[in-house]
Amino acid sequence: MRRSRLVLALVTFAVTASACGGGDAPPLTSGTSSGVDPELAATAIEALCEIEAASDLEPARAAFYDRAHATLHEVVSAAAAADPGSDAELLIAKQRVEAALEESGLPPGFDADVARLRVAATVALDALGISPPGCER
């Protein structure tokens, strides 16, 4: 009985693996193999640039959660998958900004926290082969 389960598991694995390999799928290109959409990454970085210069909580919160938050989660996951541990600084910076956005107003040093997040996200994206825009000032 035990041997038949092992054989069944191996056959299932072999069939699944052969179904995923080969084929006429186009090759993955830089920036897409990570699962992070380069356009969404650019939008997230642009949002962080706006948030860094923000003076009001609500517009900063809206920009972060509407245009950056979900993509930053994808970047954290992709960075961790590509190089385990490389996501730590990005994750810490993201959590610091999230905590600040839960306050009743923007705390002192918020712009520096957002700048750290933007730099950490840019470094992670560069490592994934995605070149996001810089902030226009």
Instruction: Yes or no: say if 67 and 104 are a contact pair by the CB < 8 Å rule.
Output: no
- Asked whether residue 20 carries a pLDDT value surpassing 70, the answer given is no
pTM score over 0.85: no
Higher pLDDT among residues 68 and 85, named by residue: 68
- Contacts by residues 123-127 (CB-CB < 8 Å, ≥ 24 positions apart): 123/89, 123/90, 124/75, 124/76, 124/78, 124/79, 124/86, 124/87, 124/90, 125/36, 125/41, 125/45, 125/75, 127/79, 127/82, 127/83, 127/86
* Residue 117 to residue 81: CA distance in whole angstroms: 19
At CA 74, angle to CA 82 and CA 69, rounded to 5?
Answer: 145
Angle, helices 88-101/110-127, rounded to nearest 10 degrees: 150
What mean pLDDT is reported for the chain?
Answer: 80
Phi-psi region of 135 (alpha: psi -120 to 50; beta: other; left: phi over 0): beta
**What is the residue type of 22?**
G
Q: Can you tell me which residue has the tokens 């970047």? A: 75
pLDDT confidence of residue 85 = 84
In the chain, where are the structural domains located?
Answer: 35-127
**Alpha helices, H only, 21-133:** 38-52, 57-67, 69-82, 88-101, 110-127
pLDDT confidence of residue 137 = 62
